[in-house]
Chains A and B, each alone.
Chain A
Amino acid sequence: MSATLAPAVSTGRRAPETRRRTRYLLWTLAGAVLIVALTYVLPPFRNYQLATVGAYLCVTAGLTVLTGLNGQLSLGHGALMATGAYTVALLQERMAGQGQWTLLVSVVAAILVTTVAGGIVGLAAARLRGPYLAGLTLAVAVVVPAITSTFDKTFNSDQGLSVYVEPPPLALGATFPYERWQAWLAWTGALLTMFVLATLVRGRFGRSLRAVRDDEAAARIAGVNVARTQVLAFVVSAACAGLGGALFAVLAQSVSPGAFPLSLSLFLVMAIVIGGLGSLAGAVWGAVLLVALPALTHSVTDSIDVSPAVAQRLEGNLPLALFGITLIVVMLAAPGGIASLKPRRRKA
């Protein structure tokens, strides 16, 4: 679809891009209003879950750009999240008690550090394809506990660090629920991420991303610098993962390597594929599923009334199996993910 815009004269191109940006801005504002309204309706735990969805959304949106739009698979995004989370933990510890602004500084620093880390991985990744890229990023994912115990003076090995977070600003009132504040923080990050990424992927960068994904040789002929595009995609995606990880640290008020296991990285990939690889809407579905699906399978199991002996066998195991079955069924029924199930379907 974007190809049709290419021959237009420059003045004709500017206008739709500006209009598009305004439209994204309006959507973002609408999203913000919806979230704020929701946080006043939902009870505290649901607000916490909503906040978790927001933090996940930063990561899944970034991963969608990398994997969905650029075709590079990363099994190591959990490690990038850990990078952001540990940065926040270490900085917040240093700046404890100096006010709300420190959080912004820490989060921005987390994004920068993770961007650098992602750039390094991206440089190596740009040479690799398919399973070889998967293998390398898998090794990145499992290196987190090794690093935290090798440098345990800084990272305190398995036990991890606690994250200092200020209570909600007093201006909001003395009894402002903490979980509502957490949801606001997380969704500020998430909506910002969505706005920036939506603008990016509709522009020139997005066209390069997709061109490289669809046919590297053709993209090269069309003048796209393939390696540069791939590294850039990794960098953008890492920045988002860093933000997501930072928000996780803030929500949990603690970081430890056990919170970023290989299964997290794998679940992130599952989430964006199930949600729908081609679009950012898929990333939203993915983030929602990451939180809702385990909770749903657990409550389904809970509602089954059986003898203690049987219950002990089912406990934990049945939710696991149900979760797996759901993944398989969705994948077979909707190969393009949930976002592709919309009646009016467009190709990315």
Chain B
Amino acid sequence: MRRTWSALAAITLFAAATAGCSDDGTGGSSGGGSVPGVTATDVLVGTHMPLTGPAAAGYSKIAPATKAYFDFVNASGGVHGRKISYKIMDDQYNPANTQQVVRELVLQDKVFAILNGLGTPTHTGVLDFLKTNRVPDLFVASGSRSWNQPDKYPGTFGFNPDYTVEGKILASHVKETQPGKKVCFLGQDDDFGRDSLAGIEKVLGPVAAKQSYVTSNPNVGPQMGALKQAGCQVVMLATVPGFTALSLGTAAKIGFKPQFVVSQVGADLRTLSKQLGAATPLTEGLISANYLPMSTDDANPWIQLFKKVNAQHNGNAEFDNNIVYGMSVGYLFVQSLQAAGKDLTREGIIAAVEKGGFQGPANAPLRFSADNHSGYGGEQLSKVEGGKQAYFGTPYETDNLDGPVAAYSAQAATPPQNGIPAAS
């Protein structure tokens, strides 16, 4: 039975190898005084992101941008004397990998919190684990409504406006400016598409025609053909960037020219033009909405700040909305750390976020409170004109229920002089 020996050897070898590189921590976050991931000079947070694989396009730039903002803060002494370390784990957008890497972050690396974990199917799988281990789960990078369940998941907070909020805002613009037009919908076949359509139909009533696509079949010819035949004049898209580009291209191919109204998720002009190349003029007139400053808006003081950080700490990576997003997340986390005070605990930061009142780069309100853990509650419309994507009108806010879509008139905040939020 030498093979059995070999089998046992394999396991023992594995154990020896892993035990060798693990510290002698006994696990568990119990124990008075010491908070996991926090020392007098450091605080360690982690995230999971798709850095490789089909879903990595665009998203892989977010976490490095957040890290760059932390490095910028660290360079002037950190927060309450603590430097922020940010550990980025690649999960390839595969929920099974997310399970592994988040457990590694929490159990092995003993992170203080999980920040901005990306994706609905991926992050949904670790909610229970994070709750059991009482790990703050801050500013999840997706517009699902699942993050706003304070009773069930007290430590989980969203960031993006949820897809229903966005659907309502886009739909009320359509209702106002395109009355009587035939409005149709093409969406991804998951919560993104479903929630988005729910928001649209709350405002507009049933759409004239709806179609869905799956990411595993990169052809929307049949769907676009159906919308064309239905005589659609406005097509609302709940699509990721690749499929926005594909939809625009396919529509042009079959001579179908409706007004496109696109979810913020898939409407970043720079990402789209990368994919469309010479066909970029197809984006002309595209309506979308967003809540963070546009990467191309050089006059915006936040963009000036983020560009400076990008040059100093991010290897001057190509500046786009993903970088703006990543740095905005970093800014909000630093605000939360400041608000949590010098004696940093997991309960303390959750209480600080629930207290809310953060002003940052966004033009929409953050909704955090003890019974609301969803992220931004509004967006401002944007339009592509002359090859530039820019905001127009005023920001709107609404909820994901039957509340009205109302103008949000608060003055946009300006960044502090040194670019670092002050202790509150």
List chain A positions with a Cβ less than 8 A from chain B.
Answer: 23, 27, 30-31, 34-35, 38, 41-46, 48-50, 52-53, 142, 145-146, 149, 157-160, 162, 175, 177-179, 194, 248, 251-254, 256-261, 263-264, 279-281, 284-285, 288, 291-292, 295, 298-299, 307-312, 315-317, 319-320, 338-339, 342, 344, 346
**In the complex, B423 has a CB within 8 A of chain A:** no
CA gap between A35 and B17 in the complex, in Å: 15
A145-B216, A259-B96 known; A284 vs B190 contact (CB < 8 Å): no
Is A258 touching B121 in the complex (CB atoms < 8 A)?
Answer: yes
Given known A42-B15, A259-B95, contact A339–B3 (CB-CB < 8 A): yes
The answer for the CA separation of A195 and B212 in the assembled complex, in Å, is 48
Contacts of A38 in B (CB 8 A): 11, 15
Closest 10 CB pairs of A and B: A309-B315, A316-B51, A45-B107, A254-B125, A259-B96, A44-B27, A281-B3, A316-B90, A284-B7, A316-B52
The interface residues of chain B lying within 8 Å CB-to-CB of A254 are 95, 99, 124-126, 128
Q: Which residue of B4, B61, B68, B99 is within 8 Å of A251 (Cβ)? A: B99
Q: Is the CB of B214 within 8 A of A149?
A: yes
Q: Identify whether the interface residues of A are mostly helix, strand, loop, or mixed.
A: helix
Q: Is B104 an interface residue (CB 8 A)?
A: yes
CB of B88 within 8 A of CB of A27, answer no
Q: How far is the CB of B71 from chain A (nearest CB, A)?
A: 8
Q: Can you add 11 more A-B contacts, CB < 8 Å, to A263-B94, A339-B3?
A: A41-B19, A44-B107, A45-B108, A46-B22, A50-B15, A52-B100, A252-B96, A284-B6, A308-B314, A312-B317, A316-B56
Task: Check if B96 sits within 8 Å of A280, measured CB to CB.
Answer: no
Chain A residues, CB < 8 A from B1: 23, 27
Number of A-B contacts (CB under 8 A): 194
B210 to chain A, nearest CB (A): 15
Are the C-beta atoms of B10 and A157 separated by less than 8 Å? no
Contact between chains at A288 and B6 (CB < 8 Å): no
Q: What A residues does B190 contact at CB under 8 A?
A: 149, 157-159
- Total residues of chain B contacting the partner, CB 8 A: 69
> Which residues of B lie under 8 Å from residue A259 when comparing CB positions?
94-96, 99, 125
The answer to whether A256 and B90 touch across the interface, beta carbons within 8 angstroms, is no
- Determine the chain B residues whose CB is within 8 A of the CB of A50 once the complex forms: 14-15
Tell me if B64 is interfacial: C-beta within 8 Å of chain A: yes
Judging by beta carbons under 8 Å apart, are B103 and A48 in contact? yes
Residues of B within 8 A of A158 (CB): 120-121, 189-191
Give the residue of A142, A248, A258, A315 whose beta carbon is less than 8 angstroms from that of B94. A258
Given contacts A309-B315, A312-B317, contact A160 B8 (CB under 8 A): no
